[in-house]
A = this chain, B = another copy of it.
């Protein structure tokens, strides 16, 4: 596995791969890798000749400086996981390499970012779209792989790709969970034992809500009961629980035949903010 630290180095690497007719897959990450990331690498491995993983804790997508400071960084352990997963190149740029000058332009994704993560983390999706655009221009992948745990992020990136005609495909892979249902996340490492023990409640509430959606329980009631269930656990402070259209991400007042529903939540446990979601197909 080749280690690359500069944009020019990555561009040269991928240009050579494309000249040789190889298919390039990109797995953008912020490191502290878990099985969810490795599944993305394996998916890329099965479909591409070159698999480039990037590890970059992107400051511009953190609205909370403390969250950025505390984000886990374990580069050696990450590299050791990527090699057996089939990664052929690892891109680990510095902040100065990714942002040689302050960024002026800002993206606005309209209604897509007026809800959930966009509403609760001002500037988050601008930072995501900026860094993803940069990574796409540096790695020039045929395919880029993202986890469905960040459902709204995937929707925003799909919109970015469509609206700017990026010449690549976005692949979204299912959320990988611990045995007790907790969605894998780099931030799970920061949970204290009591919070970790309480954390499976998030998926339990999502699963129960999904069952209610399947049974046709109205969105407002699903939302209220889920919020109540989260609030009953003293170690969990819910930030939002939303019943939304899976494509537009807009909150639902009523179900629409033929349209998938996504249930999304964010909650704080002992100072750590976690998100999760479940999709109910139409």
Contacts and interface: CB of A to CB of B under 8 A. Distances in A.
B104 A163 contact: yes
A130 B108 CA distance: 12
Interface string A156-184: 00011011111100000000000000000
A110 B102 CA distance: 12
Interface stretch (A13-21, A223-231, A271-279): A13-21
A109 B110 CA distance: 16
B162 A137 contact: no
A105 to B, nearest CB: 5
A130 B19 contact: no
A18 B140 CA distance: 13
A129 interface: yes
B105 A164 contact: yes
Contacts of A18: 15, 18-19
Given A107-B105, A110-B104, A138 B165 contact: yes
Main secondary structure of the interface of A (DSSP, over half): helix
Number of copies: 2
Given A19-B18, A137-B166, A164-B137, A129 B105 contact: yes
A42 interface: no
With most chain B CB atoms within 10 A of its CB, the pick from A98, A104, A129 is A104
Nearest to A132: B164
A214 interface: no
A133 B21 contact: no
Contact of A112 (B101, B104, B107, B159): B104
A103 B164 CA distance: 9
A47 B47 CA distance: 37
A232 interface: no
A134 interface: yes
A107 B109 contact: no
A227 B98 CA distance: 44
A109 B130 CA distance: 13
A126 to B, nearest CB: 9
Interface string A1-37: 0000001000100010011010000000000000000
B137 A167 contact: yes
B134 A165 contact: yes
A247 to B, nearest CB: 12
Nearest to A110: B104
A19 B21 CA distance: 8
A104 B101 CA distance: 27
B11 A167 contact: yes
B163 A105 contact: yes
12 contacts: A7-B165, A18-B19, A19-B21, A104-B109, A104-B163, A105-B110, A105-B163, A107-B107, A108-B108, A134-B164, A137-B167, A140-B167
